[in-house]
Chains A and B, each alone.
Chain A
Amino acid sequence: MADRLRAYRTVLVSRARSQASYRTSFRLDLVGALLVGVIELAEIWVLYSATDEIGGLALAQVLLVFGVADLAFSLADLVAGHCDKLPVYVRAGTLDVFFLRPQPILAQLVTSDLSLRRIGRCLVGATALAVGLALNDVAWGLGAVGLLVLAVLSGFVIFTAQFVTAAGLQFFLVNGAEMTNAFVYGGRYAATQPATVWPRALLVVFGTIFPVAFAAYLPVSTLLGAPGAVGLPAWLGWCAPVAALWAVVVAAACWRWGLRHYRGAGG
């Protein structure tokens, strides 16, 4: 087991080192990612400053939602963001090389790179989270901490799973790769919003199929005791791990389906 992990670790370490060695462009990417994160935070700040509350959330509360969502997404992007290179590998034929190694294809894809530059983005989410926690009246205790940790972890799993789902679908989409942006990056955007403002169609999509509502909004609602969505129980935030599990199931299915299609096994 340690042997197998060593193989993945070796690749990741190599890639990390190689990225850091391109000093200038690495720093540029880092700053760029940071800047994009700051801008997105600014947008939220501007919007919620112009009104008292939107969708039941005031600025202080939405900062917390944004913080949790953005942190979880940035971490997922760090680990799995490069899975969107799959169509490039398929077109170049270099995906075939993965089949020649005694490792699972997905594991090779996920560990093929480490998008270190996304660390800049993580800082933004972490900062927003910290500020949000400071500004809000949080009933601190084991439960609160547990809920927060659970939220970030579940969010991380959900977003990572969505990267994998997108990769699996790429085997079919080929030219239609952009469609997955709808739930990968659309999901990120949606996760930073109060789910109450979503049109009904998107409630289904981002509430159940790609359950990003459970990544930040619902756990934070539970944490703050905010009114939350009408008709939904206040403890729904604790179900984030269930949503994460579902996201994993979807991802596993799409990946296997896509891989089978690629190999022509019953597709």
Chain B
Amino acid sequence: MSDVHGNVIEAEGLTRVFTGRPERGTRLRRTRHVAVDHLDLTVAAGEAVGYIGANGAGKSTTIKMLVGILVPTSGTVRTVGLHPLKERRALARRVGVVFGQRSQLWWDLPLRESFSILAAIHGLSAADERARTAELVGMLEMGSFLGTPVRQLSLGQRMRAEVAAALLHRPGLLVLDEPTIGLDVLSKQRLREFLVAQRREHGTTLLLTTHDMGDVERLCERVLVVDHGRLAFDGTLAGLARTVGARRELVLDLATPGPDLTDVPGAEHVRSESDGLRQRLAFDPQRTTAAWVLAAVAERAEVVDLSIVEPDIEDVVREIYRATR
């Protein structure tokens, strides 16, 4: 049940090093890959945390250590107060996990059988199983494909089923590893709405790894940025934008090609295109405005057209990487 007191996740100095076998054809030396590097993480009950980072940054490895699939090389971790390695089975009753790439359902059986098997695994009474399944089927609109073998489901249908399967036993913590990957826009939206509602009604703690900034913006109040196994940022999304000093970009089309406008006060010349016919200037909206930059440019050249580019969250993240390198 979701009556978790205290911190749901507590990790200190969490480290995981992989010593790989030497590959064929390369020098016979063991490779040492630090997937997670002294990560400190605390998640309180009811939080919604987004865990973002490039591929290979250590997100999946962290998840695996949280639920007891992998053992840390050093450091400690407690999930819902339990030791993932020693108390794995007790932990499995309190946590729900959705792997975007791997299915927890029984591939060639009808979907409803997966639910009944899981209900049996988690020891739900027959009445409880019926009620809970009906509830989830209703909320996620799965009624039309309950009888379909899982392998015949579309990705969108399958992801809904995976989330339902992970929530069947009412865990207090829901961990999702790239859940919206490959989903169409509508499916993503419905899944996000469901998760938001789930949090609102049951206070489920959410830990979400994703590439998709839309997920983070809609679902999470807190953002963790991990880079090469290390935590590069831990705070709110807005704070992230602020920390990195997100800039807006002014794209100017000039009347005639000219030299790079590098001496515009308050603005930084990013690049010129078409021999200086189009120039991009970046400025910090906290310090100056587009109008002032435009005015300064007008003193130096004739502007024919302009547009303003908002920073992408991805650009923001890239900025952090650059800032921390």
Using a CB–CB cutoff of 8 Å, the interface residues on chain A facing chain B are: 3-4, 6-7, 9-11, 14, 18, 92-94, 96-97, 99-104, 263-266
Contacts and interface: CB of A to CB of B under 8 A. Distances in A.
B262 interface: no
B71 A6 contact: no
Contacts of A100: 67, 92, 95, 97, 104
A103 B89 CA distance: 6
Contacts of B116: 10
A10 B122 CA distance: 12
Interface of B: 16, 18, 64, 67-71, 73, 85, 88-90, 92-93, 95, 97, 99, 101-104, 106, 108-109, 113, 116-117, 120-123
A3 B121 CA distance: 8
A98 to B, nearest CB: 9
B69 A99 contact: yes
Contacts of A103: 89, 121
Contacts of A264: 16, 18, 70-71, 73
A89 to B, nearest CB: 10
B106 A97 contact: no
A99 B68 contact: yes
A14 B88 contact: no
- Majority DSSP secondary structure for residues of A touching B: helix
A97 B67 CA distance: 11
Given A6-B120, A263-B71, A264-B18, 14 more contacts: A9-B120, A10-B121, A92-B102, A93-B101, A94-B103, A96-B64, A96-B99, A97-B103, A99-B68, A99-B69, A100-B67, A100-B97, A101-B121, A102-B93
A103 B117 CA distance: 13
A99 B67 contact: yes
A190 B122 CA distance: 43
A265 B67 contact: no
Nearest to B18: A264
A14 B120 contact: no
B42 to A, nearest CB: 23
A103 B123 CA distance: 11
A102 B117 CA distance: 13
A263 B16 CA distance: 11
Contact of A14 (B70, B102, B106): B106
B121 to A, nearest CB: 4
Nearest to A93: B102
A207 to B, nearest CB: 35
B64 A10 contact: no
Contacts of B92: 99-102
Given A96-B102, A100-B97, A102-B93, A265 B117 contact: no
Contacts of A6: 120
A7 B89 contact: no
A86 to B, nearest CB: 15
B148 to A, nearest CB: 14
A18 B67 contact: no
Nearest to A112: B106
Contacts of A104: 89
B122 A14 contact: no
B121 A94 contact: no
A11 B117 contact: yes
Contact of B117 (A3, A7, A99): A7
Nearest to B72: A264
A2 to B, nearest CB: 10
A232 B103 CA distance: 54
A14 B121 contact: no
A99 B85 CA distance: 10
Contact of A265 (B71, B104, B120): B71
A100 to B, nearest CB: 5
B67 A102 contact: no
Contacts of B106: 11, 14
A7 B85 contact: no
B104 A263 contact: no
A92 B99 CA distance: 13
A264 B69 CA distance: 9
B71 A7 contact: no
A7 B120 contact: yes
A204 to B, nearest CB: 31
B170 to A, nearest CB: 14
Contacts of B95: 100
B200 to A, nearest CB: 25
A18 B109 contact: yes
30 contacts: A4-B123, A6-B120, A7-B121, A9-B120, A10-B116, A10-B121, A11-B106, A93-B101, A93-B102, A94-B102, A96-B64, A96-B69, A97-B102, A97-B103, A97-B104, A99-B67, A99-B69, A99-B88, A100-B95, A101-B92, A102-B90, A102-B93, A102-B121, A102-B122, A104-B89, A263-B69, A263-B71, A264-B18, A264-B70, A265-B71
Nearest to A263: B71
